[in-house]
Amino acid sequence: MKPFFIWFAVTAAIKAISPSFSGLSGNLSSLFTGVILIYTPCLFYWYRREKMAFLRGKTLTQSLFWFLAVALASSIAYVIFLKLAGGMFLSEKIRLLSNAPSLKFWLSSFIVIALPEEFFFRGFLYEMIEGSAWKKIVVTSILFSITHVVIGYSLLRLLTVLPGIALGYLRHRTGEIFTPAILHNFFNLIHWASSL
């Protein structure tokens, strides 16, 4: 019950404070969200005098293998989804992934969005939820998706449950959050490029 209460409190705090930043840069709102998502687990673990096991994973080789496997499978699924949804393939936008604005976006997105979200959902909540790895993956993915809907007011954001499952599986296979954070950031970059 405790992980759900903490998730609810954090989501409510982000939702309540976000309008305060509405007239300001979107980066400030994202920064606030990132701070909440990182400091809540840090305070929890500090209070309990426990170490954060999700910061140390298995071997680098295992992390790299599972990153490549999940990234490839996710990319194929994404392209198939785009084709089935009738959207055009993003070939003309692929070049955006290597230009300077994309690099700036990638770095800021990693620090302010992907890493804090993975820290909270695939790190902290994943550890707090009791049960099998698949239960943890599914529950954290659903909470991840609901949070995106609550903050973003769009039912399309429910689709974040799908990359959430891929990120949760990657977290399960590697035992850490940095590899999922890199893939999460890759997903954000593709989404950003597709919205241009």
Residue 155 to residues 36, 37, 39, 146: CA-CA distances in angstroms?
24, 22, 28, 9
Kind plus residue range of the DSSP H or E element containing 5: helix 2-17
Listed in sequence order, the residues at least 6 apart from 113 whose beta carbon sits closer than 8 Å to its beta carbon are: 30, 33, 34, 184, 185, 188
CA max distance for the chain: 52
Q: What is the mean pLDDT of residues 92-121?
A: 75
Tally of domains within the chain = 1
Q: Domain span at residue 90?
A: 2-194
Q: What is the mean pLDDT of residues 54-71?
A: 83
**Sole residue written with tokens 């930043």:** 21
Residue 54: its pLDDT value, please?
A: 85
- Residue 89 pLDDT grade (very low, low, confident, very high; cuts 50, 70, 90): very low
